[in-house]
Amino acid sequence: MQFENTLDFAKSLDKADDLGRFREQFIFPTQNEKEFIYLCGNSLGLQPKRTKKMLSEQLNNWGDKAVEGWFEGEEAWMYYHKGVNALMGELVGAKAAEVCAMNTLTVNLHLLMVSFYAPKGKRIKIIMEKGAFPSDQYAIESQVRFNGYNPAETIIEVAPRAGEHTLRTEDIVAEILAQGDELALVLFGGVNYFTGQLFNMAAITKTGHSVGATVGFDLAHAAGNVPLSLHDWNVDFACWCSYKYQNAGPGGIGGVFVHEKHFLNTELNRFAGWWGYHENGRFLMEKGFKPEKGADGWQVSCTQVFPLTIYFSSLQQFEEAGFMQPLREKSKKLTVYLQFIISQINKEINLEQFEIITPPHEEDRGAQLSIIAKNKPKEIFNALVAKNVLGDWREPNVIRFSPVPMYNSFEDVFRAGALLLEVTQQLLKAEH
Ligand SMILES: *Cc1c(COP(=O)(O)O)cnc(C)c1O
């Protein structure tokens, strides 16, 4: 497609966009009584308008039924998570029994590592991406220590080659093969939070299994952003948060995936709690933990009804949008358009002012472009915020823009680009 950096062109793309109807179902933040151009869904997704209504229904339930709410009514809290699990399974390419909404992301990562990081003999190492989100680094490091090993000798980080910003699949594969039978676990992100790189999860999983390792993914930036086929890829386990691309609110409930091949494995360690006990016997309050079959068996505490309700409201929108395939098509087009506009800005100001460090091909990234601003990066970011463009800032010089297909438009991308050019020209002129 031949793109044009004009408002009319952006509007013509919006007119042809079936998903455009979802935009008005969200609440956009404002500043000086004007809506932001919100390009920060990679960090915190917007609030769907239906959320308040569904949450208030559950508050009424609590008021009207109190403890009976667990068992009474169409949406009895005892089984409420099952409706969420079914939609969540569709979203990540899993069977409903393979997923469960519970806790929060880093907590779930710990719980799953208790089950799936089982170092033994010389098979003790973990491979991860260098520059993973800090919470993952801390979780993995502390799990390694908990098992009595030294993180420096146990954790292998795959890094980009000198002068490159992103990882090559061939390098990840080679590192896994090189570690061979010393490798206990491959634990990767699905999409890297900093660069926006989408990893080849199918290839990573296959290679990990070929050397006898377990393979898990942190999908914080991937779930709700890119299509996933966790079951078919034969991934062992995964976890994600719901508040980034899944619009389920700050600190929203997390999700876990456990492949069904592990359901009957009684060798797996677990940090157990009563809600993971097999459902029909849970209230017998008997001694000796017997897990519910499926991902539900990894639950620890009772269902967090309110965060779950928020997540449910958002997942219903994903269902109405047709889940990830249509969203992904629009998402790719949005980032390609943004990429085009950034290149036009560089031409306009006759400088290589902006360098996109996200992979250049849309198949290799999610809904985010990470852009190094060579001159005056922080000043440019602040000036954009003052003009109601909200991306997000990463030290020392990276601006991340995430046009989210569920609620962003091509017009958003055009307008953000026009304002980026304007503030950059002003700030760089002021320098001379
Ligand atoms: C956002 C994010 C987290 C945050 O974890 P919480 O436990 O939800 O605070 C962890 N890991 C990755 C990769 C993330 O992107």
pLDDT one-digit tens code per residue, 7-31: 999 999 999 999 999 999 999 999 9
pLDDT of residue 91: 98
34, β-bridge pairs: 31
**Which own/partner pairs from 327-333 qualify as long-range (CB within 8 Å, at least 24 positions apart)?**
327/19, 327/405, 327/406, 328/226, 328/227, 328/405, 330/17, 330/19, 330/405, 331/225, 331/226, 331/366, 331/367, 331/403, 331/404, 331/405, 332/362, 332/363, 333/1, 333/13, 333/410
CB 92 within 8 A of CB 257: yes
Measured in Å, residue 288 CA sits from the centre of ligand 1 at 33
Written as six digits, the tokens of 102 are 């519970």
Measured in Å, residue 165 CA sits from the centre of ligand 1 at 21
pLDDT one-digit tens code per residue, 143-159: 999 999 999 999 999 99
Q: Which domains, from first to last, does the chain contain?
A: 7-35+323-431 (3.90.1150.10), 53-321 (3.40.640.10)
The burial of 353, by beta-carbon neighbours within 10 Å (0-12 exposed, 13-18 middle, 19 or more buried), is given as: buried
Nearest CA to ligand 1 atom 1: 220
pLDDT of residue 430: 76
pLDDT band at 282 (very low <50, low <70, confident <90, very high): confident
Which ligand 1 atom sits nearest the alpha carbon of residue 133?
13
Measured in Å, residue 364 CA sits from the centre of ligand 1 at 21
Average pLDDT over residues 116-138: 96
Which ligand 1 atom sits nearest the alpha carbon of residue 193?
15
Full-prediction pTM beyond 0.95? Answer: yes
Measured in Å, residue 106 CA sits from the centre of ligand 1 at 6
Whether the CB of 218 sits within 6 Å of ligand 1 = yes
pLDDT of residue 223: 98
What number of CA atoms fall less than 13 Å from residue 273's CA on the CB side?
Answer: 11
pLDDT one-digit tens code per residue, 172-226: 999 999 999 999 999 999 999 999 999 999 999 999 999 999 999 999 999 999 9
